[in-house]
Amino acid sequence: MPNTSSGSKSKVTMKDVAKHAGVSQSTVSFVLNNVADVSIGEETRKKVLAAVEELNYKRRPQGLYVPSPVVPTLGFIVDEVATSPFSAITIEGAQEAAWQHGHLLEVGMTGEDREYETALLNKWIAQGVVGVIYCSILTRSITPPEALGRVRSVLVNCHSDQVHYPAIVPSEVLGGFAATEALIERGYQRIAFIDGEMWMEAAKDRLAGYRNALTTHNIPIREALIKEGNFLPSGGYQQTLALLDQTPVPDAIFCGNDLTAVGCYEALKERGLRIPGDVAVMGYDDQEIAQHMNPGLTTVLLPHREMGQWAVEFLLSPGDTNTKRTVKLECPLVIRDSI
């Protein structure tokens, strides 16, 4: 079933249907859209339709009434797509929300080329775009292109310290706090933290949350238990081995992201240690791999889909979007068997 947060069920997506039916998202799409030139077995078709019914999946509205001969459009600028799964998730959330309101979403990947961004914005503005979402793959402070100020706009996964723009970002400090507190509440006291590279805003904020949780619960902060990794399995592996060479070894390791946890798992198993029997492991991001690790990785969900949806709702709301307002969206825990 889809993850839940704050006691309410998340919107069911095509990905959830595919997982429930044990098929690919492409298969689900072909079945739901009755694609004639793709041969899909009757049993598979039945499984997909049964999953749709069981999960109460709501397809994008069909046959929307559009009062104008031209469907209104929202623009979505993102610096990169291929280097991370999160950009695509944010775009999907924004596209679904836009279409539910009878709007199209046009996406432009710019690689932070300011000249390209300006040309794209000028094109959209000339065509009467309703609003523009400006998204960064990394949570960070940005200087938006000047042309963005000429249209109703919102920043996603980034913020501007110089120009007044509304923005939405993950609540990373609270996410790091919640992850660490979940370990403390389960009795772990010697909790290590393997972070990413410290120039990253997410790495600094998750570390701040870890430190705040230890201080709140009167647990000494041991600098020897804090390691800088690289948000990759290699960093998780190397830094876990370094932690295991200490005496005593940690009873829990909070990894700054799920890829770090992959390397952490490898190092722990190489040393013959059980997860969570000997050492508990916490991740962060809730990437697809987290649920397939053995044991399943407890982690923190980055709300990229929800940020995309929020941005569309914000742009289409009747309120004033010109005043600076940075919203920090909750990063809920996803509990599995690693703690």
Instruction: Express each pLDDT in 284-338 by its tens digit.
Output: 999 999 999 999 999 999 999 999 999 999 999 877 655 678 899 999 999 999 9
Give the span between the Cα atoms of 159 and 198, in whole angstroms. 18
CATH architecture of 172-300: 3-Layer(aba) Sandwich (3.40)
Say if strands 4-5 and 8-9 run parallel, antiparallel, or are unpaired. Answer: antiparallel
Report whether pLDDT(67) > 80. no
Q: Please check whether the two domains, 73-170+303-329 and 172-300, share a CATH topology.
A: yes
**Cβ-Cβ contacts under 8 Å for 164 (sequence gap 6 or more):** 322, 323, 324
Residue-wise DSSP of 111-134: TT-HHHHHHHHHHHHHTT-SEEEE
Residue 118 binned pLDDT confidence (cut-offs 50, 70, 90)? very high
pLDDT confidence tier of residue 219, bands split at 50, 70 and 90: very high
Residue extents of the structural domains in the chain: 4-55, 73-170+303-329, 172-300
> If you classify domain 4-55 with CATH, what class do you get?
mainly alpha
> Considering only 34-48, 92-106, 143-157, 160-174, which range has the smallest mean pLDDT?
34-48
pLDDT band of 259, cuts 50, 70, 90: very high
Supply the pTM of this predicted model: 0.80
Q: What is the DSSP letter of 289?
A: G
What is the spatial distance between Cα 195 and Cα 282, in angstroms, rounded to a whole number? 12
Question: With bands split at pLDDT 50, 70 and 90, how would you rate the model's confidence at 37?
Answer: low
Q: CB pairs under 8 A, 24+ apart, for 48-57? A: 48/17, 48/21, 48/23, 50/21, 51/17, 51/18, 51/20, 51/21, 52/17, 54/20, 55/1, 55/2, 55/12, 55/16, 55/17, 55/20, 56/12, 57/12, 57/13, 57/14, 57/16, 57/17
pLDDT above 90: residue 220: yes
The alpha carbon dihedral of 172, 211, 204, 223 has a sign of negative
Q: H or E segment at 55?
A: helix 42-55
Residue 203 pLDDT: 95
pLDDT computed for residue 223 by the predictor: 96
CA atoms within 13 A of residue 91's CA, in its CB half-sphere = 20
What architecture does CATH give domain 73-170+303-329? Answer: 3-Layer(aba) Sandwich (3.40)
